[in-house]
């Protein structure tokens, strides 16, 4: 019984849905604000070198790339947000690529905060040329910090 009491005191928010009110999200976002791109494929990162591949940031045919604003969220809450809003079976939430708004702006890309879902935003304003898009995606990947999902990659 003591184990359960300690467990619930230590990890009370692990199963709770993340609250959109845990931090005030400004519009436009502050340049230091963290963003995350959830990675559903192991082909989007290199585990051996802890790096993110450019393919994780290449925009879709609509010229947008989905990210989430994670300011004020705890690590467990960030993963819960991804599970609640991004994960679709049979896919697995393998990792995430964390960048700052500054890193995005430095590439010339714009952040379009467009919920729903809560905390969602899109990277927009990509160059029309495919090779230029790849270059920008590579710059974002270089600026990103890889975070492996502890539930999938212990």
Dihedral of CA atoms 152, 63, 72, 27 in degrees, nearest 10, equals -170
- Reduce the DSSP state of residue 146 to 3 states and report it: strand
Q: What is the pLDDT along the chain (154 residues), one digit of tens a residue?
A: 444 444 434 444 444 444 444 467 888 889 999 999 999 999 999 999 999 999 999 999 999 999 999 999 999 999 999 999 998 888 899 999 999 999 999 999 999 987 788 899 999 999 999 999 999 999 999 999 999 999 998 8
- HSE value, Cβ hemisphere, 13 Å, CA-based, for 43: 3
- Predicted local confidence at residue 153, as pLDDT: 87
- Predicted local confidence at residue 23, as pLDDT: 62
pTM summary value: 0.83
For 138, counting Cβ atoms within 10 Å of its Cβ (0-12 exposed, 13-18 middle, 19+ buried), the class is middle
* Token couple for 105: 């702006």
Q: Tell me the sheet residues that pair with 52.
A: 45
Q: Tell me the sheet residues that pair with 45.
A: 52
- Predicted local confidence at residue 9, as pLDDT: 42
- Predicted local confidence at residue 132, as pLDDT: 97
Closest to 38 measured CA to CA, from 83, 76, 71: 83
């Amino acid at each position: 019984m003591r184990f359960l009491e300690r467990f619930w005191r230590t990890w009370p928010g692990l199963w709770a849905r993340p609250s959109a009110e845990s931090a005030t999200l400004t519009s436009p976002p502050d340049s230091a604000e963290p963003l995350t791109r959830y990675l559903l494929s192991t082909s989007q990162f290199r585990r051996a070198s802890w790096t993110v591949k450019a393919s994780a940031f290449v925009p879709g045919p609509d010229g947008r790339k989905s990210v989430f604003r994670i300011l004020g969220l705890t690590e467990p809450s960030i993963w819960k947000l991804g599970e609640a809003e991004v994960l679709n079976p049979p896919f697995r939430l393998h990792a995430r690529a964390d960048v700052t708004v500054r890193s995005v702006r430095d590439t010339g890309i714009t952040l379009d905060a467009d919920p729903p879902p809560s905390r969602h935003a899109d990277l927009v304003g990509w160059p029309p040329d495919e090779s230029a898009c790849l270059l920008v995606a590579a710059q974002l990947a270089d600026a990103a910090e890889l975070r492996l999902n502890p539930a999938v990659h212990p």
